[in-house]
Amino acid sequence: MTIFLILAPYGVYTLLMLVTSATISVFAASALCLVTIAIDVARGRSVKILAAGSAVLFAAIGLTLALFDPKLGTLGVKLSVDIGIFVISLGSILVRRPFTLQYAIESVPAETAAMPGFLTANYMITAAGTAAALLMMAANIVLLYFPGLPVWSGLAVAFAARNSAIYFTKWYPEYRQIKYGAPAAVLPNTP
């Protein structure tokens, strides 16, 4: 359920970009981020860096579209979202608080969170998400500068990068457990 709540705003944004305007898509995603924050607060959990940062990111892009540049275009909006996600993810690493750590600490026993490899695992998983955002940014930049390329090529890169990061998020904790005896449940809903 937690993984669903983490990814829901991005899924809604992506789906709505196919069927409606970019402005509606990013405002809906921002609203959904706020709903996930409200759910966390109602459950007595912390406000997450990723959810709060994404709410601000989507709202800022929506306001930019609505007030300043309504002709930004789908590719410009996608690039803006990817840059924002990259900044949030990399920023969380640079301030030594990988965004996955908040989710992980709330889903494992205190003894597991205190293990030395726990923090390292969260850095690695956050780095995988950062790398995926970087690849998606690069794909969108290529499509901006080479408009003759098929749009599906950018979608394929985004799909592969995002799914690879999700797979890594599930695989890496299991790998650490087998190799080092480290905790398996570094993120919620990982087997």
Please give the tally of structural domains in the chain.
1
Domain assignment of residue 187, yes or no? no
Instruction: Examine residue 190 and state whether it is found in any structural domain, yes or no.
Output: no
Residue 188 lies in a domain: no
- Extended beta strands in the chain, E state: none
pLDDT of the chain along its 191 residues, tens only?
567 778 889 989 989 998 999 999 999 999 999 999 999 999 999 999 999 999 999 999 999 999 998 888 888 999 999 999 999 999 999 999 999 999 989 888 888 888 878 899 999 999 999 999 999 999 999 988 888 989 888 889 988 998 999 899 889 988 887 877 645 544 444 43
Whole-number Å distance between alpha carbons of 157 and 50: 22
In a domain, 134, yes or no: yes
CB 33 within 8 A of CB 61: no
Per the domain annotation, does 123 fall within a domain?
Answer: yes
Structural domain that includes position 60:
2-180
Do the domain assignments include residue 157?
A: yes
Nearest by Cα to 30 from 63, 55, 67 = 55
Residue 191, domain member (yes or no) = no
Q: Return d(Cα 62, Cα 69) in angstroms, integer.
A: 10
Inside any domain, residue 99 = yes
pLDDT score recorded for residue 181: 67
Helix, strand, coil share of the chain (percent; to 5): 80, 0, 20
